[in-house]
Amino acid sequence: MVTVTGQRVLVIGGTSGFGQAVAQLALNEGAQVTIIGRTQQHLTAALGKLTGAQGVCLDVADGNQLQSWLADQANFDHVVSTLGGAMGGGFLDHTDDEEVAAVAGKFTTGMRVARRVLPHLNEQGSLTLTAGAGGRPYNASGAVVGNQALMTLVQGLAVEVAPHQRVNAVAPYWTPTGLWRNLSDAEVAAQVEAQAQQIPLGRVGTPTEVATAYLFLMHNHFITGQTIFVDGGVSAL
pLDDT in tens, 109-168: 999 999 999 999 999 999 999 999 988 999 899 999 999 999 999 999 999 999 999 999
Give pLDDT tens digits for 175-212: 877 666 677 778 878 888 888 899 999 999 999 999 99
Measured CA to CA, the distance from residue 78 to residue 8 in angstroms comes to 7
Fold assignment, 8-232: Rossmann fold (3.40.50)
Residue 52 confidence (pLDDT): 98
Please report the sign of the dihedral spanned by the C-alpha atoms of residue 127, residue 132, residue 137, residue 142.
negative
**pLDDT over 70 (residue 18):** yes
pTM: 0.95
Q: What is the pLDDT of residue 179?
A: 63
**Quick check: 38 and 88 in contact, CB under 8 A?**
no
Residues 132, 150: Cα–Cα separation, whole Å: 9
CB 60 within 8 A of CB 36: yes
Contact partners, residue 71, CB within 8 Å, separation at least 6: none
Residue 40's CB is within 10 A of a number of other CB atoms, namely 11
Please give the pLDDT value at position 178.
66
Q: Residue 189: what pLDDT?
A: 83
pLDDT, mean of residues 86-101: 93
Give the per-residue pLDDT at 85.
Answer: 81
Q: Report whether pLDDT(232) > 90.
A: yes
pLDDT digits (tens, 9 = 90+) for 45-77: 999 999 999 999 999 988 899 999 999 999 999
More confident residue, 85 or 43: 43
Over residues 79-92, the pLDDT tens digits come to 999 998 888 899 99
pLDDT in the model for residue 88: 87
Query: Where along the chain do its domains lie?
Result: 8-232
Amino acid 235: pLDDT: 92
Q: Residue range 15-36: average pLDDT?
A: 97
